[in-house]
Structure 1
Amino acid sequence: MLMQYVAPIGIGILYALSMSFVREPHRRRLNAIMVAGAGAAYLSGGGMGGWEFPFTALLAYVAFRGLESWTWIGVGWLLHTAWDVVHHVKGAPIIPFAHTSSLGCAICDPVIAIWCLRGGPSIVELFRDRRRGGRPAATPTAG
């Protein structure tokens, strides 16, 4: 039972960690694509009927704005969190055979949103900097 709440947090952290291996500006653009895909995740289930289409269109717009802004990507994940809650309450989960999948998604998505709202930093680089005593990595100088 506890894992139902802890595992989604871990998944969100693993998502941010794995994205840390993608260099900027590709990391931001890839995350914009991911949030657009999340916007369409419920379409095949149709738990909210025709409302699935405006939500998908909204997240497509937010993702488009996210191509140039981490803030918009974070907003997209928060919007998806709200949609997850609506689906969980209605009993129309994102994975039809996993009754609490929308609840898990609603726990995972804010973790990703927080990371995005902080600018999608490389977690790997943050740990490297911390191991160096908080000093940023040396940058090569133009020669």
Structure 2
Amino acid sequence: MQYVMPIVIGVLYALLMSLIREPHRRRFNAIMVAGAGAAYLSNGAGLGGWEFAFAALATYVAYRGLDSWTFIGIGWLLHTAWDIVHHLKGSPLIPFFHDSSLGCAICDPVIALWCLRGGPSPRELLTSARVVRQNP
């Protein structure tokens, strides 16, 4: 369950975000990437100045994501890498939940894949699946 729930959460995130109409969906997700980039700043996660450097990088990527789903996907993949560093270092995202960074590292690539596909709505996903099935 520890590995399944983060995937479910990532899928639910994508489904809920797909309810927001474009272009607001892309912009809102860019803001979410910026927030995720700063998530470790407030919990004293123990990487010192590197926390600020990562937050600055995530902010830049999020800014570029205002106009690009690809940058939003890259932002989630960068956050995945940062989650892995925190999980291995032993400084979790949620201080009282030891494996929270691991869960985040599993969830974030699911979101990234959705973003790298252009943040499609469920209808767009189904349409593209039908096209692929019809033209193998």
Amino acid aligned to 2:23? P
Which ranges in structure 2 are unaligned for 5 or more consecutive residues? 132-136
Q: Is the 8 A contact 1:16 1:123 kept in 2?
A: no
After TM superposition, the score normalised by the length of structure 2 is 0.91
Question: Runs of 4+ in structure 1 displaced over 6 angstroms?
Answer: none
Q: CA deviation at 1:125?
A: 4.3
Identity of aligned residues (%): 75
Give 2:134's aligned residue. Answer: none
Q: CA deviation at 1:126?
A: 3.2
Q: Is the 8 A contact 1:88 1:103 kept in 2?
A: yes
Q: Is the 8 A contact 1:35 1:63 kept in 2?
A: yes
Q: CA deviation at 1:44?
A: 1.1
Q: Whole-Å Cα distance in 1 between the matches of residues 50 and 67 of structure 2?
A: 27
Which ranges in structure 1 are unaligned for 5 or more consecutive residues? 136-143
Amino acid aligned to 1:78? L
Q: Deviations over 1:47-79 (max 9, x none)?
A: 211110010000000000000000000000000
What number of residue pairs does the alignment pair up?
130
Q: Whole-Å Cα distance in 1 between the matches of residues 104 and 123 of structure 2?
A: 24
Give 2:77's aligned residue. Answer: 78
After TM superposition, the score normalised by the length of structure 1 is 0.86
Aligned CA-pair RMSD: 1.5
Give 1:21's aligned residue. Answer: 19
Q: Whole-Å Cα distance in 2 between the matches of residues 82 and 125 of structure 1?
A: 29
Q: Whole-Å Cα distance in 1 between the matches of residues 68 and 93 of structure 2?
A: 27
Where is the helix percentage greater, Structure 1 or Structure 2? 2
